[in-house]
A and B are shown apart, each in its own frame.
Chain A
Amino acid sequence: MSLVALVSGVALASQPAQAEQTWGYVVGSFSTATYADDESCPEGINPEGKELDRRNLLSLGYTPDEAQKILLEGPASVGADWSILPMRGRIDGKPVNVFTYPESVPDPHIKTLRGSIAYGFNLDGQVTAEDFQDPETGASGIDNQLFRAVGCLQEYHINLPVRPLYEAMMWNYAIDTMPAWLISITGSDLRGDGPVTVRFLKATHHPERDADKGILAGVTYLIADEPDPGINTFEGRIENGMLTVQPGDLRLPGESPILTELDLAEAQLRFRFLPDGGGLQGFVGGYQPWLDFYFMHAALGSANEQSGNDVPGIYYALKRLADADPDPDSGANRRISAAYQLQAMPAFLATREGQVVAVPGEPPEQSRANELTLNGNPTKRDGSSE
């Protein structure tokens, strides 16, 4: 069923009761949900970029003096070039790119999170010693092995609203070209409590920036394609201003260097509506192919390691801590529990055929007639069709 039909159908079916309304949003910020306190990393934080380079140079056989010289004066000072670091992997004794072949170097065993608090969701319905407690809701049984893997890296040992630098930079780089991620929320009373349907969609265009380099609210986005049946649609509720949903599968095409696909199995989410038309803010989590997260970090390789992100170390930690979707042959888990913070700005959503199917969330009170004529297509301000 197309979104148009869905919205129309819902609107018609609920006519005797209160009319359905659909609010639209465009995702403006997305990054690993981070949390740090004094107990998060009792073994300490993983080294910063310079120390990482020194360790890697030593592993290549350079003496401490040579390593220091390279770090201060560049590799030419010892007759080498900067490829020595990315090409530090060895397969059959031959140099290979360590970001392409992360297992070409030994597991550096980066320090991983030991604390008991992390954002996320109880994805498996169980409460075990491996699980976290969510700092916002206080819920136990939080599954977030991805953050356990990276939570003691320099860039990830931070608290919201600060975002991991590499992810923030890559997101900012990507969204000026990457078709936007859209969210629609449909319900009979979005300002009150009650059942809702949440949908994730892909736009035909990238998000538009505002004057402050944020995301411009109120822009109209065309929906690129309807997702496959059974994914990206979540039934949920709003209770006391918090929107939560029943688990489902979420798959949104992305773009390198951000995730080439946001693929969360058994996904859950919780959103809060920000006041004054500020949009949505919350978390989305699920089981993600851990290689997707690794590829994001491998995309910029050496540059990323400058920030202290030990890329092969991340690979090994993710692989080691993956907790879902075992490979039928090897038994190795292919997915890892994860949670991301997400912010979205209000937006109009429309079909390619020109039908407005969602209006910006928390629109101001309208003192005018309800009908707009756009390109000859009558639409309703509440996002429903004729």
Chain B
Amino acid sequence: MKERSPGSARTRSAALLIWVAVLAGLSLTSCDSAQGQHVSGQDAAGQLVSATSAPVEERRVGGFYRLTEEQYRQVIRDVLGTSIVVGGRFQPFERESGLLAVGAGIATTSASGLELYDAMAREVAAQATAAPLRTLLIGCTPEDESRPDQACASQFLNRVGRLLFRQPLSPEDSALFVQIAADTSRKLGGFHRGLQESLATMLVDPRFLFRIEMLEPDPDHPGEYRLDSYSRASRLSFWLWNSIPDEALLAAAEAGELLTEDGLARQVDRMLASPKLERGVRAYFTDLLRLDGFNTLSKDVSLFPRYTAGLSEQAVEQTLRTIVHHVLVEQGDYRDIFTLRQTFLTRTLGAVYGVPVIASFENGAPEPWVSTVYPENDPRTGILSHISFVALHSHAGRSSPTLRGKALREIFLCQNVPPPPGDVDFSRFETADTSKLKTMRERLSAHANEPLCAGCHQLTDPLGLALETFDAAGVYRTTENGATIDTSGNLHGVTFQNSAELGQVVRNDPTVPVCAVNRAFAYGAGKPAQRQALEPIEEEFAESGFRFVNLLRTIALSDAFFGAKPDATQLAANR
């Protein structure tokens, strides 16, 4: 039987008030504004510290966003060290407006999800407070390890709590967590056991698991709201670094610098220059390109023996490496990701694409990544030809021009393609005689002749058919069942003959950079913006030569990014 700590009951009830709200999907307030009373005593876990002078009763919750699995893991690594093993499972997220980051803003968690978090918290806390890691982490030595040590506990918990909650602990919070440690130390024996309990409590606190954004009245725009200082710091850091603010950013938030144009610009520029930006860019494109889909992707190995167990992971890495190299290292034109001749391959990936990958490494060692430059107009140029696109948007046993075309429109053009009606008869397509209808184009022609289907398939299939030179596993081919594959088509009236030309056409489509701005903003802000708010950003993006880092900077410094106009419903809900 697991031991129960005396602090756990009290703390669980402290967090309960907030969790009840979270589970109910309601917005949170930092205090009971109607009564003007602080959430007090045991309820201090719900209190949010403000770096501004705005009266608490005027502050509002702008949103709360559950940390993604990778963000959770990264925060643990950043705060408690890379040796901590985070086991367990995470409740999935729903993708909204094309992004999990937006879905995270409407995701709550279930009671079972909370149990998963609790189990993870206990595991992580136990590792962090066990020898020898605790010597490095705690930073002070208790006078007697068998007894509580308020000073040492306070030092550790305030430091860690500030990072986990992305703002300093309030005096009430600090006192509570120290008290939990002391109570547990006395009852269960030992200073470190107490810290473990207190740390575990922090790790199930909604202020850790959720990014709770607080709004305050905007003094420059009466009647409007703006994100408060710490919320800005968290939004920036999870957006650009996929993790918590560092000391400098927290200090800037504490000093109110993020509320000034110059102060904000200084921090944004510092963050964009940091190596941590790669983490953020990787997380963004993982979300944008729906690469989480590989977690559940499977292929029929009898049909696609080249789709080896590790191929999905390598496919994701290929695309992320390629994009990071282009937009961060080379600072290239964002639109060129559709036409890039350079990519990075392993020997295994080379076997799928049908290209040699020359890598010198020790027999048995992990495969190295090799920079590869395709010839001009090679069909493998651009990320649309990557396994991460063509295999991800295919079925287990066959390619799918429809899924590929749908994904292309949704991801890169920000267009919504509705799902098929429920009463579609797929048998005509599924049972097509491949000795007569040899190519996918021929088989899909059935859709073109069905009025019910034609509307959507005319949008999706021509784009997807250009990628038919890649089978469901991404293996390059030029024929299907002995017939030459026709990859011609058009997008918005511009014709193309093959996948390379499709990439060129997509690259030059004016919708692409507009969509890029839309998605990048929504990812950072956690919600999409109105088009007119983005137009100045689109213009600056174009003026910068479509440099992605410039886009991030422009968004971060835009009026729209930290501004907020809560509607009457939201204000009412807050109250």
User: Given the complex, which residues of B lie within 8 Å of A374, measured CB to CB?
Assistant: 355-358, 370, 372-373
Please report whether the interface of chain A is mostly helix, strand, loop or mixed according to DSSP. Answer: loop
Q: When the two chains form their complex, are residues A368 and B375 in contact, meaning their CB atoms are under 8 A apart?
A: yes
Q: How far is the CA of A365 from the CA of B498 in the complex (A)?
A: 15
Q: How far is the CA of A4 from the CA of B423 in the complex (A)?
A: 61
Q: Is A74 an interface residue (CB 8 A)?
A: no
Query: Min CB distance, A146 to chain B, in Å?
Result: 30
**Neighbour of A220 across the interface among B356, B363, B364, B478, CB < 8 A:** B356
User: Given the complex, which residues of A lie within 8 Å of B360, measured CB to CB?
Assistant: 204, 222, 352
Q: Is B429 an interface residue (CB 8 A)?
A: no
Q: When the two chains form their complex, are residues A219 and B351 in contact, meaning their CB atoms are under 8 A apart?
A: yes
Q: When the two chains form their complex, are residues A216 and B377 in contact, meaning their CB atoms are under 8 A apart?
A: no
Q: How far is the CA of A371 from the CA of B377 in the complex (A)?
A: 11
Which of B83-91, B233-241, B297-305 lies at the binding interface? B297-305
Q: How far is the CA of A371 from the CA of B479 in the complex (A)?
A: 21
User: Given the complex, which residues of B lie within 8 Å of A368, measured CB to CB?
Assistant: 375, 377-379
Which of A75-83, A206-214, A287-295 lies at the binding interface? A206-214
Q: Is B47 an interface residue (CB 8 A)?
A: no
Which of B65-73, B186-194, B306-314 lies at the binding interface? B306-314
Q: When the two chains form their complex, are residues B305 and A214 in contact, meaning their CB atoms are under 8 A apart?
A: yes
Q: When the two chains form their complex, are residues A350 and B377 in contact, meaning their CB atoms are under 8 A apart?
A: no
Query: Min CB distance, A335 to chain B, in Å?
Result: 30
Q: When the two chains form their complex, are residues A179 and B363 in contact, meaning their CB atoms are under 8 A apart?
A: yes
Q: Is B350 an interface residue (CB 8 A)?
A: yes
Contact A365/B359 with A211-B304, A373-B373 known, Cβ cut-off 8 Å: no
Contact A219/B378 with A204-B360, A350-B356, A373-B373 known, Cβ cut-off 8 Å: no
Q: Is B562 an interface residue (CB 8 A)?
A: no
Q: When the two chains form their complex, are residues B299 and A211 in contact, meaning their CB atoms are under 8 A apart?
A: yes
Count residues of chain B with CB under 8 A from any CB of chain A. Answer: 41
Q: Mark B244-258, 1 if CB is under 8 A from A, else 0.
A: 000000000000000
Q: When the two chains form their complex, are residues B363 and A204 in contact, meaning their CB atoms are under 8 A apart?
A: yes
Q: Is B496 an interface residue (CB 8 A)?
A: no
Contact A217/B306 with A177-B363, A364-B354 known, Cβ cut-off 8 Å: yes
Q: Mark A356-369, 1 if CB is under 8 A from B, else 0.
A: 10011001111111
Contact A208/B370 with A220-B357, A350-B356, A368-B375 known, Cβ cut-off 8 Å: no
**Neighbour of B354 across the interface among A214, A218, A375, A377, CB < 8 A:** A218
Please report whether the interface of chain B is mostly helix, strand, loop or mixed according to DSSP. Answer: loop
Interface size class of A (residues with CB under 8 A): 35 or more
Q: Is B352 an interface residue (CB 8 A)?
A: yes
User: Given the complex, which residues of B lie within 8 Å of A372, measured CB to CB?
Assistant: 355-356, 372-375
Q: When the two chains form their complex, are residues A210 and B308 in contact, meaning their CB atoms are under 8 A apart?
A: yes
Contact A220/B354 with A209-B308, A212-B305, A372-B375 known, Cβ cut-off 8 Å: no
Query: Min CB distance, A213 to chain B, in Å?
Result: 9
Q: When the two chains form their complex, are residues A216 and B354 in contact, meaning their CB atoms are under 8 A apart?
A: no
Q: Is A205 an interface residue (CB 8 A)?
A: yes
User: Given the complex, which residues of B lie within 8 Å of A181, measured CB to CB?
Assistant: none
Interface residues of B in 362-383 (CB under 8 A from A): 363-364, 370-379
Q: How far is the CA of A366 from the CA of B311 in the complex (A)?
A: 24
Q: When the two chains form their complex, are residues B350 and A218 in contact, meaning their CB atoms are under 8 A apart?
A: yes
Query: Min CB distance, A94 to chain B, in Å?
Result: 41
Q: Is A100 an interface residue (CB 8 A)?
A: no
User: Given the complex, which residues of B lie within 8 Å of A208, measured CB to CB?
Assistant: 308, 347-348, 351
Q: Is A354 an interface residue (CB 8 A)?
A: yes
User: Given the complex, which residues of A lie within 8 Å of B521, measured CB to CB?
Assistant: none
User: Given the complex, which residues of B lie within 8 Å of A356, measured CB to CB?
Assistant: 356, 358
**Neighbour of B307 across the interface among A205, A206, A211, CB < 8 A:** A211
**Neighbour of B363 across the interface among A206, A214, A348, CB < 8 A:** A206
Query: Min CB distance, A35 to chain B, in Å?
Result: 28
User: Given the complex, which residues of B lie within 8 Å of A29, measured CB to CB?
Assistant: none
Q: Mark B190-229, 1 if CB is under 8 A from A, else 0.
A: 0000000000000000000000000000000000000000
User: Given the complex, which residues of B lie within 8 Å of A371, measured CB to CB?
Assistant: 375
**Neighbour of A216 across the interface among B351, B372, B479, B498, CB < 8 A:** B351
Q: When the two chains form their complex, are residues B358 and A354 in contact, meaning their CB atoms are under 8 A apart?
A: yes
User: Given the complex, which residues of B lie within 8 Å of A217, measured CB to CB?
Assistant: 305-306, 351
Q: Mark A193-229, 1 if CB is under 8 A from B, else 0.
A: 0000000000011101111101011111010000000
Q: Mark A236-248, 1 if CB is under 8 A from B, else 0.
A: 0000000000000
Q: Which residue of B lies closest to A206 (CB)?
A: B363
User: Given the complex, which residues of B lie within 8 Å of A220, measured CB to CB?
Assistant: 347, 350-351, 356-359
Query: Min CB distance, A24 to chain B, in Å?
Result: 9
A-B contact pairs, 29 of them (CB 8 A): A208-B308, A208-B351, A210-B306, A211-B304, A211-B306, A211-B307, A211-B309, A211-B311, A212-B301, A212-B302, A212-B305, A216-B305, A216-B306, A218-B352, A218-B354, A348-B350, A352-B360, A354-B358, A356-B356, A365-B479, A367-B379, A367-B498, A368-B378, A369-B377, A371-B375, A373-B374, A373-B375, A374-B355, A374-B357
Apart from A216-B348, A354-B358, A375-B358, list 5 A-B contacts with CB within 8 A.
Answer: A211-B308, A220-B356, A369-B376, A373-B373, A374-B373
Q: Which residues of B contact A (CB under 8 A)?
A: 299, 301-302, 304-309, 311, 347-348, 350-352, 354-361, 363-364, 370-379, 469, 476-479, 498
